[in-house]
Homo-oligomer: A and B are copies of this chain.
């Protein structure tokens, strides 16, 4: 990326722990604030044809101590079939205000959703259901019926394996990687 930065460097880019903290602050804000960039990460998966796929998802929960992130989906959506075959996926957030790119390599597991359905607001339940299933061809956009189906509500638990962070600074770019196997201590990388 070569577009020019607009602002001076914030203090948190100077240290690995500062960068790491900043990422988790942004992720936590994404759960709480629907206008925050981390509210809508891009989830990349390996498609059934072997190529890459990407789509926007909504970040529903994060747990820094466990290093996990939660996404909700319709069980019949294409990404579920893709993740069943290849659970290694990526979550991507680009926060233009702080010029910070967060690349999270994750492994995705499907959580037991018992007792969770009751906590989903009624209006949101329409995201889990519908006929025909997501991605099915329609003769007209009106040939689709909204339904809700608790059986199609699925929670994706994304366990962070590796975090690649890039800050585009005025005095130069900073990049670092944080690995689960090294307890997320972090190492600087060439940008």
Q: Is the CB of B52 within 8 A of A46?
A: yes
Q: A44-B42, A188-B138, A188-B141 are in contact. Are A3 and B88 (CB under 8 A)?
A: no
Say yes or no: A133 contacts B52, CB within 8 Å. Answer: no
Q: Could you list 16 examples of A-B contacts with CB < 8 Å?
A: A4-B123, A42-B54, A50-B88, A51-B88, A52-B88, A52-B89, A52-B90, A53-B103, A54-B103, A130-B191, A132-B190, A135-B175, A137-B188, A138-B190, A144-B190, A146-B172
What distance in Å separates the Cβ of A43 from its nearest Cβ neighbour in chain B? 8
Could you mark each residue 119-136 of chain A with 1 if its beta carbon is under 8 Å from any beta carbon of chain B, else 0? 000011011001111111
Q: A141-B188, A191-B130 are in contact. Are A90 and B54 (CB under 8 A)?
A: yes
Q: How far apart sit A123 and B96, CA to CA, in the bound complex (Å)?
A: 20
A: residues with CB less than 8 A from B are: 1-4, 34, 39-40, 42, 44-47, 49-58, 72, 86, 88-92, 94, 96, 101, 103, 105, 123-124, 126-127, 130-141, 143-144, 146, 172, 174-175, 177, 187-191
Say whether B34 contacts A44, CB under 8 Å.
no
CA distance in complex: A141, B14 (Å): 9
Q: Across the A-B interface, give the 10 residue pairs with the lowest CB-CB distance, nearest first.
A: A51-B88, A44-B44, A54-B92, A44-B54, A44-B52, A138-B188, A2-B124, A2-B127, A54-B90, A42-B42
